[in-house]
Amino acid sequence: MKLVILDRDGVINQDSATFIKSPAEWIPIAGSLEAIAMLNQSGYRVAVATNQSGIARGLFDMAALNAIHDKMHRALSQLGGRIDALFYCPHAADDHCDCRKPKTGMIEDISRRFSIELNQVYAVGDALRDLQAFAHAGCKPILVRTGKGEETLTQGNLPPNTLVMADLAEAAQHIISEQTILAK
């Protein structure tokens, strides 16, 4: 089985310093939904691992988060794409949970859900904490320049072997082309 793990805000949809609190605020990044559909059509399963501390902060509730994700799933299905599993951390940083990135709890849960070793799994994020969680869990991290990506790149200290791509569309093309090369 082939799997790709994605962060949500800043990778799939536009990010906001004030959080994505409603379906109206969830706006896909140009080409991101098509990239997920392209991954699916190339035989990849797609999982999302997203920190959603806005729940712990009281900025939105589970009904709002579910409505946001419903909008994302519907938009993807219209393009022939899907997200096979969606994992989220509802905790604030001071809750000291094991699931909030940069900790690896969500990534390890994805590994168990799909019964897959993570050393061949690409994971795409826009923030250093995404890349740290992915790398510590054993994934192959990709930084996209969308969302917080430019700032993350400028700050440096990326995990070793982190690839840098313009956006999810370029990352998907790279993942698919590498798999094609390996299959030969």
Tens-digit pLDDT profile for residues 153-173: 999 999 999 999 999 999 999
Return d(Cα 59, Cα 40) in angstroms, integer.
Answer: 33
Residue 182 confidence (pLDDT): 59
Give catalytic status of residue 7 as yes or no. yes
128, two tokens: 């250093």
Contact 180, 44 (CB under 8 A): no
CB neighbour list of residue 8: distance below 8 Å, 6 or more residues apart: 48, 50, 72
**Alpha helices, DSSP H, located in the chain:** 32-41, 62-77, 105-114, 128-137, 149-155, 168-183
- The SS3 of residue 49 is strand
Residue 115 confidence (pLDDT): 97
pTM: 0.96
Catalytic residue among 7, 15, 130, 167: 7
- What domains can be seen in the chain, in order of their start residue? 2-183 (3.40.50.1000)
Catalytic residue among 9, 15, 126, 167: 9
Counting as low any pLDDT under 70, the low residues of the chain are 180-184
Residue 183 confidence (pLDDT): 59
Residue 179 confidence (pLDDT): 74
Residue 87 confidence (pLDDT): 98
- The SS3 of residue 81 is coil
Tens-digit pLDDT profile for residues 127-148: 999 999 999 999 999 999 999 9
Give catalytic status of residue 9 as yes or no. yes
